[in-house]
Copies of this chain bind each other. A is one copy, B any other.
Amino acid sequence: MSSPDSQTPAVNESNANDKPALKEREAKKRKLSGDESEMLASSSSNMSAFKEFKLIKVLREDDRHKLINLHGSLPLKKSDDDSGSGPVDSNSEESDAVVVLERKPFDPTSIEECIRQTKTKETLHNDIYSTFEIFSTPNKADMRATLIFPATEKHISKYSEHQPFIVNETPDLYRDVTLPCIEASKFSIQWVYNILDKTKEADRIVTEDSDPETGFVLIPDLKWDRQKMESLYLVAIVHKRGLRSLRDLTAEHLPLLKNVLQKGQAAIKEQFGVGSDKLRIYFHYQPSYYHLHIHFSHIRFDAPGTDVMRAHLLSDVIDNLSINPDFYKKKTLSYVVRDSDQLYEAYEDNGYFQ
């Protein structure tokens, strides 16, 4: 792991985590999906777009997912005929670039051929067990990359490793530090109201209960393509306004929570054939936006944000409020903030981290 010793200026984002908010992801998705077919045409497969890449810094390594984020430079005038549309700095021949490089998953349809054509070096042999280092001879692409060029400081920061810190948020810390930070950030949730009012994305709604107190809208998360049931991911957004997160819930909201649990499970069973014994149903705390919403993801999907430091099962929340009506007004909640988060700054300013 590269150590994020010298951090670039923090990105001004109000969500207390590294997952972009739904709105941002949506905007990004729309931007990237515009007329892909046309863009696919002008490609060259015999040369590297990176042959003049100079590495400046490894921003982040993710060994488990075989991914690496790089900060480097590339010449502004590319050697092929590709006319970049980004801003050009006339005083320099090179500009900053961010490259996200990821190895590809194996393709089961070509795996037999792939493994037969490798070169292998046995590293261990003990009884029936052997291990090998393998050199592939790829005739299919074995990696994929995203290039951001020219890149700004903000891009570089976004793809950098940010130092994580655990906050043990007592009710007093919530009142004195977290809540003022949420209110100060004035993070717009108009896009949520657009969904609830059906002025946007009405065609994506899977089910709705329009009751203003106990109702909700269930829509697919943008991470889910609606094809693979093993990566099923939906979000229930409650109609009731003014509930920021788990922290605002008391026993008076039990009818709302039970309604979301029951009707959400039923709709997913009916429309996608996925039963409740396959559904992980949970809140995020901190959430990425402060209008109450509940995540439904397939247990075979290793979705981001399912770690015990962030996810809270809806069934546990219902149990806890049934046992103790003010549970989330009394409970210390632990979560991770990163040094690029506004919430980190708020706690840092408060002297929370020694």
Asked if A53 contacts B309 (CB within 8 A), the reply is: no
State in angstroms the CA–CA spacing of A85 and B280 once bound together: 45
Contact string against B for A residues 203-237, beta-carbon threshold 8 Å, 1 for contact and 0 otherwise? 00000000000000000000000001010000000
Inside 8 A of A68's CB, which chain B residues have their CB?
A: 105-106, 108, 111
Q: Which of B40, B47, B106, B164 contacts A61 (CB 8 A)?
A: B106
Inside 8 A of A307's CB, which chain B residues have their CB?
A: 280, 306-308, 311
Q: How many copies of this chain does one complex carry?
A: 2
State in angstroms the CA–CA spacing of A100 and B137 once bound together: 18
State in angstroms the CA–CA spacing of A278 and B61 once bound together: 18
* A261 CB, min distance to chain B CBs, angstroms: 11
Given the known interface contacts A66-B66, A165-B278, the answer about A130 and B118 at a Cβ–Cβ threshold of 8 Å is no
Chain B residue with Cβ nearest A149: B128
Chain B residue with Cβ nearest A51: B116
Q: Which of B47, B111, B299 contacts A70 (CB 8 A)?
A: B111
Chain B residue with Cβ nearest A122: B43
Asked if A105 contacts B144 (CB within 8 A), the reply is: no
Asked if A53 contacts B115 (CB within 8 A), the reply is: yes
Chain B residue with Cβ nearest A120: B49
A332: interface (CB < 8 Å): yes
Q: Which residues A7-48 have CB closer than 8 A to chain B?
A: 31-32, 34, 36, 39-40, 42-48
Inside 8 A of A141's CB, which chain B residues have their CB?
A: 121, 133-135
Q: Which residues A88-129 have CB closer than 8 A to chain B?
A: 99, 101, 103-106, 108, 111-112, 115-129
Number of interface residues of A (CB under 8 A): 117
Asked if B302 contacts A64 (CB within 8 A), the reply is: yes
Asked if A47 contacts B277 (CB within 8 A), the reply is: no
Inside 8 A of A167's CB, which chain B residues have their CB?
A: 277
State in angstroms the CA–CA spacing of A150 and B309 once bound together: 42
State in angstroms the CA–CA spacing of A117 and B51 once bound together: 6
* A216 CB, min distance to chain B CBs, angstroms: 21
Inside 8 A of A104's CB, which chain B residues have their CB?
A: 66, 103
Say what secondary structure dominates the interface of chain A: mixed
Q: Which residues A274-303 have CB closer than 8 A to chain B?
A: 276-280, 282, 299-300, 302
Inside 8 A of A70's CB, which chain B residues have their CB?
A: 111, 115
Asked if A121 contacts B44 (CB within 8 A), the reply is: yes
Chain B residue with Cβ nearest A333: B316
Inside 8 A of A36's CB, which chain B residues have their CB?
A: 123-124
Stretch at the interface among A173-181, A247-255, A323-331: A323-331
* A83 CB, min distance to chain B CBs, angstroms: 10
Asked if A319 contacts B331 (CB within 8 A), the reply is: yes
Chain B residue with Cβ nearest A323: B324
Inside 8 A of A151's CB, which chain B residues have their CB?
A: 128
Asked if B115 contacts A50 (CB within 8 A), the reply is: yes
Asked if B119 contacts A146 (CB within 8 A), the reply is: no
A184: interface (CB < 8 Å): no
Asked if A105 contacts B31 (CB within 8 A), the reply is: no
A86: interface (CB < 8 Å): yes
Inside 8 A of A332's CB, which chain B residues have their CB?
A: 315, 319
Q: Which 4 A-B pairs have the closest CB atoms?
A: A308-B311, A63-B105, A133-B141, A134-B143
Could you give 7 example pairs across A and B, Cβ below 8 Å? A2-B108, A63-B105, A101-B111, A132-B146, A133-B143, A135-B142, A323-B324
